Amino acid sequence: MLDDTDRRILRHYQHDPALGLTDLADAAGVTANTCARRLERLRTGGVILGNRAVIDWARLGYEVEVSLRAQLDKTNPRAFDEFTAAAREVPEVIEIQTFLGRVDLRLYVIARDMAHYQHIYRSAILTLPHITEIEALMHMARIKSDEGLPL
Amino acid sequence: MIELDETDRLILRELVEDATQSASALGRKLGLSQPATWRRVRRLYDTGVIKGQRLDLDRERLGFGVSVFLGVKLATKGRVSLEDFERAVSAIPEVQSVEHILGVFDYRLRVVARDISDFERVLRRRIMTLPGVGDVEANVLLSEERRPGPIG
């Protein structure tokens, strides 16, 4: 189980994952030794799954970001698996989420520009299996994106 | 726009897996010298190709069993300023992300909660009371998978 010290460390680490061990320990008010030990335990215990670099796709020339909400043919028991497997083959799909609700699936697609998006949409998305309905939402702005947990 | 070569892309993929790897460990993996690796990593950060780092936590182990995406339509467009809504919604700790979108909804929120009844509390007390909120559609997240994207 996690105690207050773990939570405090996680709160600071989550806020700034680029912090080095000593800075993190200082921020959380623990010694570097304690901090290292706690982090190790959180990692081996599977609480911390990773510390990952976040790519700014716009810098790499991908200016368009579209979220596609799809509904699948639920009469086919293989629909989810087959759709997901095929979506993984599309390099421009950077996220796949499944839901309980009106929407079954969401694909996050990036493209260089609208023409490129049109091309991906026609050649790689509409050809995905078992889609009954698909709807595109264009991203305008990201207002909050830290995805931090209220620890 | 920043052009990447094959080695840059390999480094980028590695750092998306684990951003804490040292330049020497990374260099050994890819058969590059430590200084050469360091220079390439530095460039990825300096040019903003890597815009930051994200701590990937197991939400369930931390007691957050439910993630919900909410599509929110504003009811009284023009009368309530978007800035007021954005400021108020961003201040809610359970709201992890806020995106302004174009389509059937105006905003998409990602909300985390301990369980469904905790989610209901957040929805009723915090979200539905926001200035200008109209239709809200909720979809409970079952699974999510981040893909490497077109750098493979």
Q: Would you state the pLDDT for residue B122?
A: 95
As a three-state string, the secondary structure of chain B is CCCCCHHHHHHHHHHHHCCCCCHHHHHHHHCCCHHHHHHHHHHHHHCCCEEEEEEEECCHHHCCCEEEEEEEEECCECCECHHHHHHHHHCCCCEEEEEEEECCCCEEEEEEECCHHHHHHHHHHHHCCCCCEEEEEEEEEEEEEECCCCCC
Q: Which residues of A67-105 are buried (b: 16+ CB within 10 A; e: fewer)?
A: bbbbebeeeeeebbeebbebbeebebbbbbbbbeeebbb
Q: In this structure, what token pair is assigned to residue A131?
A: 């889609």
Residue B150 lies in a domain: no
Q: Would you state the pLDDT for residue A146?
A: 72
Q: Do A149 and B64 touch (CB under 8 A)?
A: yes
Q: Would you state the pLDDT for residue B152?
A: 66
Distance, CA of B57 to CA of A142 (rounded, Å): 21
Mean pLDDT, range B120-149, rounded to an integer: 93
Q: Would you state the pLDDT for residue A35?
A: 97
Q: pLDDT band at residue A143, thresholds of 50, 70 and 90?
A: confident
Q: Do B142 and A88 touch (CB under 8 A)?
A: no
Per the structure, the count of domains in chain A is 2
Q: Do B144 and A2 touch (CB under 8 A)?
A: no
Work out the percent of chain A whose per-residue pLDDT is above 70.
Answer: 100
Residue B53 lies in a domain: no
Q: Is A143 helix (H, G, I), strand (E, B) or coil?
A: strand
Residue B84 sits in the same domain as residue B124:
yes
Residue B109 sits in the same domain as residue B70:
yes
Q: Would you state the pLDDT for residue B131?
A: 86
Q: Would you state the pLDDT for residue B150?
A: 93
Residue B145 lies in a domain: no
Cβ(B18)–Cβ(A24) below 8 Å: no
- Answer whether residue A148 shows pLDDT above 90: no
Residue B123 lies in a domain: yes
Q: Would you state the pLDDT for residue B83?
A: 87
Question: Which residue in B63, B127, B56 sits closest to B90, CA to CA?
Answer: B127
Contacts for A71 with CB less than 8 Å, ≥ 6 apart: A102, A103, A104, A105, A131, A132, A133, A134
Residue B70 lies in a domain: yes
pLDDT: which is higher, B132 or A83: A83
Residue A96 lies in a domain: yes
Q: In this structure, what token pair is assigned to residue B55?
A: 């701590």
Residue B100 sits in the same domain as residue B69:
yes
Residue A63 sits in the same domain as residue A35:
no
* ipTM value > 0.90: no
Contacts of A95 in chain B (CB under 8 A): 144-147
Residue A95 sits in the same domain as residue A121:
yes
Q: Do A53 and B15 touch (CB under 8 A)?
A: yes
Residue A125 lies in a domain: yes
**Identity of the residue numbered A23:** D
Range of the domain at A69: 57-138
Q: Which among B17, B98, B112 has CB closest to A149?
A: B112
Say which CATH number the domain at A21 has. 1.10.10.10
Residue range B62-114, pLDDT digits in tens: 999 999 999 999 886 566 688 889 999 999 999 999 999 888 889 999 999 99
> What backbone phi and psi angles, to 5 degrees, belong to A56?
-95, 100
Distance, CA of A121 to CA of A127 (rounded, Å): 9
Q: Would you state the pLDDT for residue B77?
A: 58
Residue B31 sits in the same domain as residue B65:
no
Residue A94 sits in the same domain as residue A67:
yes
Distance, CA of B43 to CA of B2 (rounded, Å): 10
Residue range A44-89, pLDDT digits in tens: 999 999 999 999 999 999 999 999 999 999 899 999 999 999 999 9
Give me the torsion for CA of B85, A59, B25, A21, rounded to 10°: -30
Q: Would you state the pLDDT for residue B108?
A: 93
Residue A144 lies in a domain: no
Q: Do A49 and B58 touch (CB under 8 A)?
A: yes
Residue A66 sits in the same domain as residue A118:
yes
Say which CATH number the domain at B90 has. 3.30.70.920
Residue A33 sits in the same domain as residue A86:
no
Residue A150 lies in a domain: no
Residue A62 sits in the same domain as residue A120:
yes
Residue A52 lies in a domain: no
Contacts of B2 in chain A (CB under 8 A): 59-61
Q: Is the CB of residue A51 less than 8 Å away from at least one CB of chain B?
A: yes
Say which CATH number the domain at B32 has. 1.10.10.10
Per the structure, the count of domains in chain B is 2
Residue B81 sits in the same domain as residue B120:
yes
Range of the domain at B124: 60-140
- Answer whether residue A144 shows pLDDT above 90: no
- List, as ranges, residues 89-128 from A with C-beta within 8 Å of B: 91-103, 106, 110
Q: Would you state the pLDDT for residue A139?
A: 84
Q: Do B53 and A52 touch (CB under 8 A)?
A: yes
Q: Which residues of B75-114 are buried (b: 16+ CB within 10 A; e: fewer)?
A: eeeeebebeebbebbeebebbbbbbbbebebbbbbbbbbb
- Answer whether residue A1 shows pLDDT above 80: no
Q: Which among B52, B103, B142 has CB closest to A98?
A: B142
> What backbone phi and psi angles, to 5 degrees, belong to A41?
-65, -40
Determine which of A73-77, A91-95, B11-15, B65-69 has the lowest per-residue pLDDT on average.
Answer: A73-77
Residue A64's Cβ-count burial label (10 Å; 0-12, 13-18, 19+) is: buried
